[in-house]
Amino acid sequence: MNSFGNSDIRLLHVDDDAAFAELVGLSLERRCERFRVVSVGSAREALDRLDEEPAVDCVLSDYDMPEMDGLALLERVRETHPRLPFVLYTAKGGEEIAAEAIGNGVDDYIQKGSSAAHFLTLGTRIEREVARARAEREKQVRLEALEAAREGICIVDADGRFRYANETYLDLYGYERSELVGEPWQRLHTDAAVETIETDVLPHVAEHGQWGGTCVGLRADGTTFRESKSVSTLSGGELVIVVTEHEATDD
């Protein structure tokens, strides 16, 4: 097999039926070159594999296995990999098993099959869960980067209200996140600064996509300060604003 790449889907398939596991692996890899399937014969082996090689994108697990069934494996996996997609793949049908699986937090539940159409569906649903998890992981990484930034960063929605502000931004203006999110951006500026922003800054951003300069910020305690500010447009009409304290003022 080729080494894993960024776009590969690294699937850990757990099934005590070795012949069926081989069929699944070959069928998925033939369907799409992105699949890299590793098969193990028990839940215990799956846990060992995750310890040795945590870079797995999805677990596809049989339900009825000796020693530890698929739902018991799910519970163990969630302890160390809470966001790892887990698909229960079983020959046993019925609403009772499906309800139990969903109640235990499985990401998807699929009954086994052997037709080409079945493996097409299986591959598509695994891809969907992996794409969802990767998007959530990327979003979390970006959020952590924003929170770690030394600059104050906020996002204002198309209606002019705060949708997000990092800790540095909140500290700069003296607010808790719950006090600011949902509020209009005008709350953090003097009347004169609001007029300047509405007259000069926002039209410039609308035309050029960004603006940079200085302005007067208004803290929660009523004091003001000179701020260095950059404003850029995001998709959907949102604005990302980056602020640092430029110079204290008694205005």
Strand ranges across the sheet with 9-14: 35-40, 9-14, 58-61, 86-90, 108-111
Domain boundary assignment for the chain: 9-144, 149-248
CATH number for domain 9-144, candidates 3.30.70.3040, 3.40.50.2300, 3.90.550.10, 3.40.309.10: 3.40.50.2300
Q: Given 3-state DSSP classes, what are the helix, strand and coil percentages for the chain, each rounded to the nearest 5?
A: 45, 25, 30
DSSP alpha helices (H): ranges in the chain?
18-31, 43-52, 70-80, 95-103, 116-148, 167-173, 177-180, 191-196, 202-208
Task: Over range 50-79, report the average pLDDT.
Answer: 91
Q: What is the pLDDT of residue 94?
A: 63
How far apart, in whole angstroms, are the C-alpha atoms of residue 63 and residue 97? 9
Looking at every residue in the chain, the average pLDDT score rounds to: 89
Q: Which helix (H) or strand (E) holds 92?
A: none
Domain 149-248: CATH superfamily is PAS domain (3.30.450.20)
The answer to whether the predicted template modeling score (pTM) of the entire model surpasses 0.85 is no
- Above pLDDT 70, what percent of the chain? 94
Cα separation, 60 vs 108, whole angstroms: 9
Contact (Cβ atoms closer than 8 angstroms) between residue 242 and residue 152:
yes
9-144 and 149-248 share one fold: no
**In which band, very low, low, confident or very high, does the pLDDT at 247 lie, cut at 50, 70 and 90?**
low
In this predicted structure, the answer to whether residue 2 has a pLDDT above a threshold of 90 is no
Angle at the Cα of 124 from the Cα atoms of 73 and 1, rounded to 5 degrees:
75
For residues 52-74, average pLDDT = 91
